[in-house]
Chain A
């Protein structure tokens, strides 16, 4: 596959991840919309899918939902049913969101909710896209005899690779499609909001119809029209009137002067000031030292344990037979130990060190002291996450150096680049749990409650990791990939789990800010 299309696909993925956030930041600066509405939007999307996906599956098993092959009638029926299930579940979910969040009644609140709802959709599409990019790259490079594929799969992949090689610009199509869909989602959120503002449920009904029609057009047209750009053009035309309507309705901005102080970068400057304070805290409270010492020890111990466990056993009376059964340790064992230690103990360490970050300041009253000053709450929350991340990053560097040195010395045959990349993935995995802990700390009134929430969230994440099929996309997928990379093993990259981890971190940090902003100190 040509590198240009990989580059374009990566670009598309990055924009899909950043666009909803960037728009939300812009909206927030203009209208001071609470971040929590973004999180509510994320929840309304996820809530809708929890009903939507099994519903589609049910229709499929009941054979109500045609497979879309063959006659035009079949395609029309399929497009209509898919559109309706999406419309009904998502719009009702949005309505449920507004009925719970009673304060979200301004026009701009609806837009924020829409950005969350459509934003998480775009981010999840980015995850799927990243997954397919990794497999495309892998299959286009791998020797076919190595790859175990069904013949149809091989044909489909080859077709896709050829298509992308011929017209690399096609790689941007999913991004264009997502931008249009995001505009649609924002419009729909604003329309459903009108049902609450004007106390007229017809708005929910019309949102369902518009959503169903949009999806119908998308599915039907994609079956009939082979030109991607024409298809996107039609969908863009569909959304255009709604976008224009939103532009006309938009309220007056609260004005720049009212937001920032002396200069434009004042909020960023305040973020930097708190970040420095948090850094000092990590140092003074010895947290940084503890993390670094623990990771350094893990880095050193992992290859040592791998090397000397059989020897220790041999010296133990009665255990000689077991020692015989253990094969001669190798680099694989050393790396295995390293990955295992970092992930198993790392995530507990992260929860222990992160649980009090916000909760403790709420409990003690130090947060109320500082936040009665003009310090934005987002800076307070995000600086905590960033300072922790920096501490873990340094810890990982120490572990990496130690583990690499000892493994190389005891076993040899380790690729420095692969091993570094693997450590990076493990760091990302740890940071996912740090972000879950941050949210726990933002929600919990006390450190104990925060710890409970963080632990619960982490366990849910770990459980998701072992669900067949979907599990590979969970952050746990990073661990396997890291193992592969460290040992230079052949296998597809798991960019899906990488993007998924970034998505989870982003949503967790935004939700932490959102939750904390709404709290009273």
Chain B
């Protein structure tokens, strides 16, 4: 049986009046890639800072790889790697020097450190910049170096805070591929506001909203529940001004959860896809509306939130 890599018990953090995190109860099994999904300011970073021992909770406790992280014990930090959203380095060092310094903190022997640094520079494609000052690095390079420093001691648990949000599509793909490769070696806790990224690599997902954990679910289950329940309709320009009755009729139905419209695209979140397929198509014909597009799509994060909170 697999153990628990991350455990939070009623983990709570208030900043004055602001309740950044409210009684978070969470268990992430060893070896899982856990996606922590939420908007900016939902409490993702707060949770990670508490789990990595950088901040102290208002109440509650948290354990990482069996070590209690919420009482100022440095020892638990041996087991974790952490990549903040905007990793920041000593700009006067080179990547090799920085990684060497971090390696020393983990008491990695000199010979092993050398090998490990080379591996990591290869893994993150930083070989060419290995002896340049970090001061001149691009955001993407710093993100990759951030990953390298988080991995230097092959941690049992890896915390990645929005690892892809600052990257261009190629960089994003690289990071996601890297996470996929690490899957077997370590437990990964990945926070993001991008559903597509979380969907791609995570095998279980938690959704956090305004400091509250809304749901924790297996990825496949979550997707089957909320995955394909949105119909995207694009009306022809001429039909657009005749769409009002159509929308009003839809809104009156109890299996329609949400309707949003932006110019000619209309997104309809439904509870029962089969019923929706039958009814909506016939309604469109009835109203004589001309379609450019009719498609089942992945819900946006907003729509998942709305579905969950309803």
Contact = CB atoms under 8 A, between A and B. Distances in A.
A373 B89 contact: no
Given A261-B78, A281-B92, A365-B84, A374 B105 contact: yes
Contact of A368 (B54, B75, B105): B54
Nearest to A371: B54
A374 B78 contact: yes
A261 B56 contact: no
B77 A374 contact: yes
A372 B104 contact: no
Chain A residues touching B, majority SS: helix
Central interface residue in B49, B75, B77, B105, by most chain A CB within 10 Å:
B105
Contact of B73 (A258, A366, A521): A258
Contacts of B78: 261, 374
Nearest to A257: B75
Interface string A255-286: 00011011000100110010001001100110
A32 interface: yes
Interface string B19-54: 000000000000000000000000000000100111
Central interface residue in A34, A258, A280, A374, by most chain B CB within 10 Å:
A374
A261 B89 contact: no
B88 A284 contact: no
A261 B107 contact: yes
B107 A517 contact: no
Chain B residues touching A, majority SS: loop
Contact of A366 (B52, B89, B105): B89
Nearest to A254: B73
A374 B74 contact: yes
Nearest to B87: A369
Contact of B75 (A259, A270, A369, A521): A259
Contacts of A368: 54, 84, 88
A32 B77 CA distance: 16
A259 B72 CA distance: 11
Given A32-B72, A368-B54, A375 B105 contact: yes
Interface in B51-96: 52-56, 71-75, 77-78, 80, 82, 84, 86-90, 92
Nearest to B149: A369
A219 to B, nearest CB: 42
A369 B84 contact: yes
Contacts of A261: 75, 78, 107
B137 interface: no
A270 B55 contact: no
A259 B146 CA distance: 28
A452 interface: no
A517 B107 CA distance: 22
Interface string B141-182: 000001001000000000000000000000000000000000
Contact of A34 (B72, B74, B84, B107): B72
B101 interface: yes
Contacts of A365: 84, 86-88
B102 A281 contact: no
A316 to B, nearest CB: 46
Contact of B106 (A258, A259, A280, A373): A373
Interface in A32-56: 32, 34
A224 interface: no
A348 to B, nearest CB: 24
Contacts, number: 72
Interface in A151-173: none
B107 A266 contact: yes
Given A366-B90, A520-B54, A521-B54, A372 B72 contact: no
Interface string A348-391: 00000000000000001110111111111000000000000000
B158 to A, nearest CB: 12
A364 B101 contact: no
A277 B101 contact: yes
A405 B55 CA distance: 54
A262 B109 CA distance: 13
A372 B77 contact: yes
Interface in A385-417: none
Contacts of A258: 73, 75
A355 B277 CA distance: 67
Contacts of B52: 372
A521 B49 CA distance: 8
B102 A373 contact: yes
Given A285-B92, A365-B86, A366-B90, A273 B104 contact: yes
A369 B80 contact: no
A281 B92 CA distance: 8
A220 B75 CA distance: 52
A369 B75 CA distance: 16
B101 A273 contact: yes
B77 A373 contact: yes
Contacts of B92: 281, 284-285
B72 A364 contact: no
Central interface residue in B55, B78, B104, B146, by most chain A CB within 10 Å:
B104
B75 A374 contact: yes
Contacts of A34: 72
Interface string A179-220: 000000000000000000000000000000000000000000
A117 B104 CA distance: 38
A266 B74 CA distance: 12
Given A261-B107, A273-B104, A375 B90 contact: no
B105 A372 contact: no
Contacts of A364: 88
5 A-B pairs closest in CB distance: A365-B88, A520-B55, A374-B77, A372-B82, A284-B92
Interface of A: 32, 34, 258-259, 261-262, 266, 269-270, 273, 277, 280-281, 284-285, 364-366, 368-376, 517, 520-521
Given A374-B74, A374-B78, A520-B56, 15 more contacts: A32-B71, A261-B107, A262-B107, A273-B101, A273-B105, A277-B90, A285-B92, A365-B84, A366-B89, A368-B54, A369-B89, A369-B146, A372-B77, A373-B102, A520-B54
6 contacts: A261-B107, A372-B52, A372-B80, A372-B82, A374-B78, A517-B72
